Amino acid sequence: MESESLTVAGKAKKKQEKQRASGPRALSWLKILLPALALPVVVIGGLYAGVVLLDEAAEPPEPEVSPAAPESPTESAASSTAEPQTALVPRPQRPVEPLDMDKLRITDTVVSDTRVEIEKLPGNSQLDSVPQEKTAGPEVVQTSEPDKVPSPVAGPETPPEPQTEIAAIESPATLQNPVKPETSENQGQAQVIPPLWLRNATAPRANRGQPMIAVVIDDIGPNLRNARRSVTLPAPLTLAFLPYANHLEDLTTKASQAGHELMVHMPMEPKESSQNPGENALLTELGPEELKRRIRWNLERFSGYVGVNNHMGSKFTGSGPGMRLVMSELSKRGLLFLDSRTNAQSQAEQAAALFRVPFAQRDIFIDNDHTNPDAIRAQLAKLEEQARSRGYAVGISHPHDKTLEVLAEWLPEARKRGFALVPISEIVKQRLQLARAGAAQDPNAGSKSGQP
């Protein structure tokens, strides 16, 4: 019995030792098998996630729509059919609303710092006034300047009439001779601002087809007494003031109030070196920058004038480069030019044509002999003859004592003889009309005549 119990005890002890030995061995197998089993799970999970990502990437992104813009049925149907079936969390379907033509608006959604996408819906006539660049698809337009796209605001359907940049600076109400406004299909009637020479022009009197005479008095300013006498002559005359004279503001204001038209009598270099054209005269020896400075100085001495004519200038007006500089500045300012014709080879007309500056030229010097009243009257008779034969004439005089006396007598008599006394702007208008009439018959007539 005792030996059997020992045998049973030994077997039990061996069994326990065997179990203890198998525990670590099983744990070692588990450590080996667990990673092997986890690898397929990771691979399968990764493949599944990849499929989902590919499906979502293949789906076209749905554009954002402003809450204020109604959704069209076509867009709703397209978004519902494009919804992927494999998505883990399906997007909620947007309700389909009927298309209400009265509620359509422009919506703008900023898609980047420099691009704006506008959804153009039927009935959005406001898009006509927005600078746009069409892209693929008839309903989407894009622009690279989002600041120019008007944001939708509550208010009436019709946008306010746009105001031109010029009109924002100077009100059309101040214009003396407004031009008939052009008509724009999208913007209605837009006020056209005339050039400065028309804005400053003296309002013309009624003309029943009478021959026109423009009398210009040059060199006004240095002789203050005769400058004031010139202002008191019957209007309308054209008074050309030397820009370096004194009392210009007072003289030009009174001249304008009296009904006369104003010009800048710009000093230019004469051929005779003994003659002095005056301060800040234009000289052929000067460089472009100094010439520009002098031109601008002369043009900024007073205001209210229609243009420029040359004081002396028999040498400078023969310079093509010099006259082109003058006309370039006049063109920028919207001014006309009257050539006093002190040089038969003057380049003024060619330069004016190049820069499309309204142009006229002197026909008669009224007072070459300013001490002889009969000689002055003889020149005025030639002026009348020129006006009868051509329809208009331009005479230039100066504020000398005898000249002013003869003009005071002649002006009312000329009216009685059927002449229309007009400012220089009316002669320029007449020349423009004749040039355009000629251009209608000959396409090259406008360029030949030197008129815009």
Gap between the Cα atoms of 411 and 204, Å rounded? 16
What's the pTM? 0.59
> ∠ CA(121), CA(123), CA(125), 5° rounding?
100
The residue written with tokens 């605001």 in the block is 153
Q: Which two tokens stand for residue 288?
A: 């472009």
Q: What is the pLDDT of residues 19-48, one digit of tens each?
A: 665 555 656 666 666 666 666 666 676 666
pLDDT, position 62: 52
Pick the CATH number of 211-449 from 1.10.3720.10, 3.30.465.10, 3.20.20.370, 3.30.1780.10: 3.20.20.370
* Statement: residue 401 has pLDDT above 70: yes
CB atoms within 10 A of CB 117: 19
For the chain, which residues make up each domain, given as ranges? 105-149, 211-449
pLDDT, position 395: 99
* Statement: residue 185 has pLDDT above 60: no
Band of residue 440 on the pLDDT scale cut at 50, 70, 90 = confident
- Rg from Cα positions in the chain: 45
The distance between the two most distant Cα atoms of the chain, rounded to a whole number of Å, is 179
Band of residue 421 on the pLDDT scale cut at 50, 70, 90 = very high
pLDDT, position 189: 57
Average pLDDT over the chain reads: 75
pLDDT, position 390: 96
* Statement: residue 260 has pLDDT above 90: yes
| Cβ proximity of 197 and 306 under 8 Å | yes
Band of residue 441 on the pLDDT scale cut at 50, 70, 90 = confident
The residue written with tokens 């010009």 in the block is 263
Highest mean pLDDT among 11-25, 66-80, 233-247: 233-247
* Statement: residue 59 has pLDDT above 80: no
Share of the chain above pLDDT 90, in %: 52
* Statement: residue 149 has pLDDT above 50: no
| Cβ proximity of 258 and 231 under 8 Å | yes
Which range among 150-159, 297-306, 311-320 shows the weakest confidence by mean pLDDT? Answer: 150-159
Q: Which two tokens stand for residue 205?
A: 């009197």
Nearest to 124 by CA among 102, 155, 142: 102
Gap between the Cα atoms of 92 and 428, Å rounded? 74
